[in-house]
Amino acid sequence: MSTLLIRGGHLIDPAAGVDAPRDIVLKDGRVAEVAEPGKTALGKGKASADLQIIDSKGLTVAPGLVDIHVHLREPGQGHKETIATGTAAAAAGGFTSVAAMPNTTPTNDSPEITRWMQAPERGASVRVFPIGAATRALKGETLNDYAALKAAGVVAVTDDGHPILKDGIMREVLINATRHGLSVIQHAEDTRLTGGCSMNAGPTAFRLGLRGMPPEAEYGLVERDIRLVTELSMNGKGDKNGNRPHLHVAHTSTAQAVAAVRQARRNGLRVTCEVAPHHFLLTEEHVGAYDTNAKMNPPLRSAADRDAMIQGILDGIVDAIATDHAPHAAHEKEVEFERAPNGITGLESALGLSLRWLHHEWKLPLGRVLSLLSAQPAALLGLKGRGTLTVGSFADVMIFDPKQEWTFRAKNSRSKSKNTPFDGWTMQGRVQWTISEGRVVYQAEAL
Amino acid sequence: MPLNAASARPIIVTPELPADISTGVTGSVLSASGLTLEAVGEILALATVLEREDPIQRAQRLAKRRIALLFYESSTRTRTSFELAAKGLGADTTLVSSLSSSIEKGETLKDTGLTLRALGAEAIILRHPSSGAPWLLERETQLPVLNAGDGMHEHPSQALLDLRTILAHLRPGVEAVTAETLAGLTVAITGDILHSRVARSNMILLPKLGARVILCGPRELLPELAAQAGPGVEIERNFTRALEQSQVVMMLRIQAERLAGLQLDLEEYKASYQLSEERLTKYAPKALVMHPGPIIRGLELTGEVADGPQSVILEQVHHGVAIRMALVYRALAGRTLTAGAQKGVRA
């Protein structure tokens, strides 16, 4: 593999505490050297068959982004997305690592599917980390073989799309996952309270004549899970190595759920949470005239909930921004609101929205925004060598212009699906290059 | 890195909200919320003109124009009166219902709409069990759509005919409507508000003309947040107190088909909310009794009340034809036969 020199750029590597001009040498898929401009062993460098040079003058160089919540739809739902198209979208959005949810067809219950997803034949542009199904076929009844799943490469277990509802089963999941060093990601939705619902419960749902999901369907389950984690952490049950259970709350959307996570952290528990851009930007009002691109689960919530997501991000209780990238074919969304599937795409708009709003409008430092999109999610799932550019790390790099404004056009998306409420939105921070393990996997078209 | 650097900042700017629910196609009536006072006045005036017109002359107005009725739910009053309205204007109508059509084979609303347009329909009258379905149909066909009831959302033509009934009795001779036309009038809507599209349309339309709307019913059928539906809307759980204040009493059927597992003690319900002759005489002896139908005698109201002197239930049905003639005419006005036909061919 050839060597790659990124020169003249400004490196922001939050995990390493670097925010300075740096040249970077990538070799054999790893970071070989990081030095002040012109001070690497290659000096100014000279492009050749063995040395590729990326001139990053005026640009910011950062660790490739890490999205711990995407639906790549393979196996089985290739009309929505494939691993190839989903990871191409990831690359265009600056992501070099994506964790793929197991609600595929069939569900990812086995080492075979886990390995299939990671096989070179899938044509992935960036690294895919499969997440295993916590229970067989996501039914919340029978636990899968976590040892076998972990050996095949899963980085966590979840029934995402469905909750693990039964107390006894969730308890077993936490115990077994902890034993195998796996995080448990919960889709916190008490489905006993959300039957037939298609948006958030509240005045908007009443006005639109839609059944609403009450916020307690989310936070009630988060609180239940935290009680279980408390119990298992205190008694140390099921863990010989002193490992404490790790509960990660997926797509947090209610103020009370963030408050519950905050309290759990104060109590010293390993409880983390992620927030999706749509939940820190949009509210139930964005359903507008029954826009199916504003339909997702959890639903867009009240303005107070949205503000709590922003506050949680700003004050550091939120550990990661994750997209919940959920592609659906156009014909699947062109139906009655109540019949439309949940979810929106997110990989190509997450950085632009985060920089535009969190950084530019709400003044979260650039390094913090990047950390929420790379170092923190990588650490959360224990993805070693990802989310940082220290020597020896994977050569996963995003090079971008943090100041450049641009307009997101869904039709130009690399994803197979275009279901996004952010079509036409102003974004900030355009990705120029994305490098995955030393290979350039995305390069912006010249302006 | 400092974690709290930004947390003290008040958040002022957040992304803009989408524009209000409004319709993109001229002539569509999708909701009472989308109707301006001006449009309401226009519809009422048109209804009067068309109702008074010589039937032979009236039948020339939309002679041989094509209107499709697309009904995914059963209906007696609404369907028949829309059909009679369109036919009274001379239009050809065709009825597509979810049973006995390709909808049964899985054809989507979009494709059904496009098919009707290709067959030459210039407007579609839609009844559908999903809230918001008329927006989808309008967006995909770009035809004027008249909402004949969508899920639990709205039933604007019903609210308009209710308004016409109220005006005929309580504001006789009023020609033009203003924001004060119904000032001083209190309307009690009682019963299954949660599942009622009629209630939603009325609680939005009537206050636009200055009426005060009291919603009355048990918590299961009337959530507290209904009071936030708009200005001029309030909740009164006590039926007696609601009756005492009202000049119009609008009763609603309990929608068994939409209760979705909700358990309701009907005997208890009747004891608290049934409109009986005794209650009516005692607390609202002069009020108009209205009901959008179908009525369930002996449940939300007694047979005596339904057939009694204060009941205008059948008048409401009668006003339905005039209002729907106005809506159908308005939907097609401004479109020439050629333009409509070309649109069909293009599809």
B13: chain A residues, CB-CB within 8 Å: 361
Is B1 within 8 Å of chain A by CB?
A: yes
Phi, psi of A52 (to 5 degrees): -100, 135
Same-domain status, A276 and A218: yes
Binary contact (B200, A361; C-beta < 8 A): no
**Residue A400, SS3?**
strand
Is B262 within 8 Å of chain A by CB?
A: no
Domain membership of residue A120 (yes or no) is yes
Domain membership of residue B187 (yes or no) is yes
Q: What is the pLDDT of residue A43?
A: 86
Q: CA of B171 to nearest chain A CA: how many angstroms apart?
A: 29
Is B342 within 8 Å of chain A by CB?
A: no
Measure the CA angle with vertex A211, ends A208 and A215; round to 5°: 110
**Residue B110, SS3?**
helix
The residue-averaged pLDDT of B154-173 equals 97
Q: What is the pLDDT of residue B115?
A: 96
CA A319 – CA A271 distance, rounded (Å): 10
Beta-carbon contacts below 8 Å between A and B: 112
Tell me which residue in B7, B128, B130 faces A314 most closely, judged by beta carbons.
B7
pLDDT in tens, A413-433: 999 999 999 999 999 999 999
A285: chain B residues, CB-CB within 8 Å: 17-18
**Residue of A198, A290, A349 to mutate, testing the B interface (most B Cβ within 10 Å of its Cβ):** A290
The yes/no answer to whether this complex scores an ipTM above 0.85 is: yes
**Residue A322, SS3?**
coil
A interface with B, Cβ–Cβ < 8 A, is 14, 195-196, 202-203, 206-211, 281-283, 285-286, 288-291, 303, 306-307, 310-311, 314-316, 331, 334-339, 357, 361-365, 367-368, 371, 425
Beta bridge pairs of residue A141: none
Binary contact (B128, A196; C-beta < 8 A): no
Binary contact (B21, A289; C-beta < 8 A): yes
Number of domains comprising chain B: 2
Please state which of the ranges A136-145, A438-447, B131-140 shows the lowest mean pLDDT.
A438-447
Share of residues in chain B with pLDDT > 70 (%): 91
Q: What is the maximum span of chain B, computed from C-alpha positions, in angstroms?
A: 82
B109: chain A residues, CB-CB within 8 Å: 335-336
The two tokens of residue A103 are 């609600």
Same-domain status, B107 and B241: no
A207: chain B residues, CB-CB within 8 Å: 33, 200, 229
* Residue carrying structure tokens 């809507």: B189
CA B50 – CA B322 distance, rounded (Å): 7
B130 Ramachandran zone, left/alpha/beta (phi>0; psi -120 to 50): beta
**End-to-end distance of chain B based on CA atoms, in angstroms?**
60
Binary contact (A208, B131; C-beta < 8 A): yes
Residue in A405, A371, A364 with CA at minimum distance from that of residue A389: A371
Q: CA of A356 to nearest chain B CA: how many angstroms apart?
A: 11
Same-domain status, B106 and B42: yes
Domain membership of residue B235 (yes or no) is yes
Domain end point (choices A380, A406, A421):
A380
A121 Ramachandran zone, left/alpha/beta (phi>0; psi -120 to 50): alpha
Binary contact (A281, B15; C-beta < 8 A): yes
Q: What is the pLDDT of residue A238?
A: 47
Residue with more model confidence, B346 or B108: B108
Q: Residue B5's pLDDT band (boundaries 50, 70, 90)?
A: very low
Binary contact (A206, B223; C-beta < 8 A): yes
Binary contact (B13, A361; C-beta < 8 A): yes
Instruction: Give the range of the structural domain holding residue A410, as residue numbers without chain letter.
Output: 3-61+396-443
CB B50 within 8 A of CB B319: no
Binary contact (B11, A362; C-beta < 8 A): yes
The two tokens of residue B156 are 């604007």
Q: CA of A289 to nearest chain B CA: how many angstroms apart?
A: 5
Binary contact (A281, B19; C-beta < 8 A): no
Instruction: Give the range of the structural domain holding residue B314, as residue numbers without chain letter.
Output: 156-256+265-319
Which chain A residue's Cα is nearest to B194? A206
pLDDT in tens, A51-80: 999 999 999 999 999 999 999 999 999 999
User: Is residue B13 scored above 90 in pLDDT?
Assistant: no
Domain membership of residue B19 (yes or no) is no
Q: CA of A5 to nearest chain B CA: how many angstroms apart?
A: 28
pLDDT in tens, A75-132: 999 999 999 999 999 999 999 999 999 999 999 999 999 999 999 999 999 999 999 9
Q: What is the pLDDT of residue A216?
A: 98
Same-domain status, A226 and A178: yes
* Residue carrying structure tokens 């003290």: B8
Listed in sequence order, the residues at least 6 apart from A104 whose beta carbon sits closer than 8 Å to its beta carbon are: A72, A73, A74, A75, A76, A77, A113
Domain membership of residue B25 (yes or no) is no
Among A13, A23, A319, A324, the one annotated catalytic:
A324
A283: chain B residues, CB-CB within 8 Å: 17
**Residue A22: which CATH number?**
2.30.40.10
Residue with more model confidence, A444 or B334: A444
A12: chain B residues, CB-CB within 8 Å: none
Which chain B residue's Cα is nearest to A207? B229
Q: What is the pLDDT of residue A243?
A: 81
Q: What is the pLDDT of residue B9?
A: 47
Same-domain status, A126 and A46: no
Which chain B residue's Cα is nearest to A358? B6
Same-domain status, A165 and A211: yes
Domain membership of residue A390 (yes or no) is no
Same-domain status, A57 and A73: no
User: Is residue A239 scored above 80 in pLDDT?
Assistant: no
**Residue of B17, B108, B126, B130 to mutate, testing the A interface (most A Cβ within 10 Å of its Cβ):** B130
Which chain A residue's Cα is nearest to B200? A207
Which chain B residue's Cα is nearest to A210? B131
Report the run of H or E that residue B133 belongs to, with start and end. helix B133-141
Q: What is the pLDDT of residue A123?
A: 98
Same-domain status, A224 and A103: yes
CB A166 within 8 A of CB A193: no
Domain membership of residue B23 (yes or no) is no
Q: CA of A3 to nearest chain B CA: how many angstroms apart?
A: 33
User: Is residue B151 scored above 50 in pLDDT?
Assistant: yes
Other CB atoms within 10 Å distance of the CB of residue A411 = 6
Q: What is the pLDDT of residue B293?
A: 93
Binary contact (B7, A311; C-beta < 8 A): yes
Binary contact (A290, B135; C-beta < 8 A): yes
User: Is residue B6 scored above 90 in pLDDT?
Assistant: no
Binary contact (B151, A338; C-beta < 8 A): yes
Residue in B3, B16, B12 with CA at minimum distance from that of residue A313: B3
Residue with more model confidence, B239 or A240: B239
B5: chain A residues, CB-CB within 8 Å: 365
Binary contact (B197, A303; C-beta < 8 A): no
Q: What is the pLDDT of residue A130?
A: 98
Share of residues in chain A with pLDDT > 90 (%): 94
Domain membership of residue A42 (yes or no) is yes
Residues 125-184 of B with CB under 8 A from A: 128, 130-133, 135-136, 140, 150-154
Same-domain status, A303 and A416: no
Same-domain status, B329 and B241: no
State how far Cα B161 lies from the chain centre. 9
CA B141 – CA B134 distance, rounded (Å): 10
Is B327 within 8 Å of chain A by CB?
A: no
CB A97 within 8 A of CB A396: yes
User: Is residue A276 scored above 90 in pLDDT?
Assistant: yes
Confirm whether A159 is a catalytic residue: no
Beta bridge pairs of residue A67: A98
pLDDT in tens, B173-186: 887 999 999 999 99
Residue in B112, B202, B113 with CA at minimum distance from that of residue B153: B202
Please state which of the ranges A4-8, A195-199, A344-348, B2-6 shows the lowest mean pLDDT.
B2-6
Same-domain status, B54 and B163: no
Binary contact (B9, A206; C-beta < 8 A): no
Q: CA of A129 to nearest chain B CA: how many angstroms apart?
A: 28
Binary contact (A207, B229; C-beta < 8 A): yes
Residue type, A84: A
The CB-side HSE value for B252 (13 A sphere, CA atoms) comes to: 25
Binary contact (A307, B136; C-beta < 8 A): no
DSSP readout, A154-192?
Answer: --EEE-TTS----HHHHHHHHHHHHHTT-EEEE----TT
Same-domain status, B136 and B172: no
Is B226 within 8 Å of chain A by CB?
A: yes
Other CB atoms within 10 Å distance of the CB of residue A4 = 21
Same-domain status, B118 and B228: no
Same-domain status, A402 and A341: no
DSSP readout, A216-272?
Answer: HHHHHHHHHHHHHHHHHHHH-TT-TT-PPP-EEE-S---HHHHHHHHHHHHTT--EE
Q: What is the pLDDT of residue B7?
A: 45
Domain membership of residue A411 (yes or no) is yes
Domain membership of residue B10 (yes or no) is no
Q: Residue B338's pLDDT band (boundaries 50, 70, 90)?
A: very low
CA A235 – CA A288 distance, rounded (Å): 49
Q: What is the pLDDT of residue B19?
A: 65
A372: chain B residues, CB-CB within 8 Å: none
Same-domain status, B93 and B143: yes
User: Is residue A255 scored above 50 in pLDDT?
Assistant: yes
Binary contact (A208, B153; C-beta < 8 A): yes
Domain membership of residue B104 (yes or no) is yes
Domain end point (choices A350, A380, A410):
A380
The residue-averaged pLDDT of B43-60 equals 96
The two tokens of residue A92 are 């265009």
CA A170 – CA A134 distance, rounded (Å): 9
Domain end point (choices A380, A412, A433):
A380
The residue-averaged pLDDT of A284-294 equals 95
CA A297 – CA B224 distance, rounded (Å): 25
**Residue B75: which CATH number?**
3.40.50.1370
Is B222 within 8 Å of chain A by CB?
A: no
Q: What is the pLDDT of residue B334?
A: 61
Which chain B residue's Cα is nearest to A357? B14
Same-domain status, B222 and B290: yes
CA A276 – CA B120 distance, rounded (Å): 45
Domain membership of residue A387 (yes or no) is no
Q: What is the pLDDT of residue A417?
A: 98
Number of domains comprising chain A: 2
B197: chain A residues, CB-CB within 8 Å: 209
Q: What is the pLDDT of residue B16?
A: 81
Residue in B200, B291, B202, B219 with CA at minimum distance from that of residue B252: B291
Task: Give chain B's mean pLDDT.
Answer: 90
CB A445 within 8 A of CB A433: no
Same-domain status, B161 and B150: no
Compute chain A's Rg from CA coordinates: 21
Residue in A11, A3, A16, A5 with CA at minimum distance from that of residue A388: A16
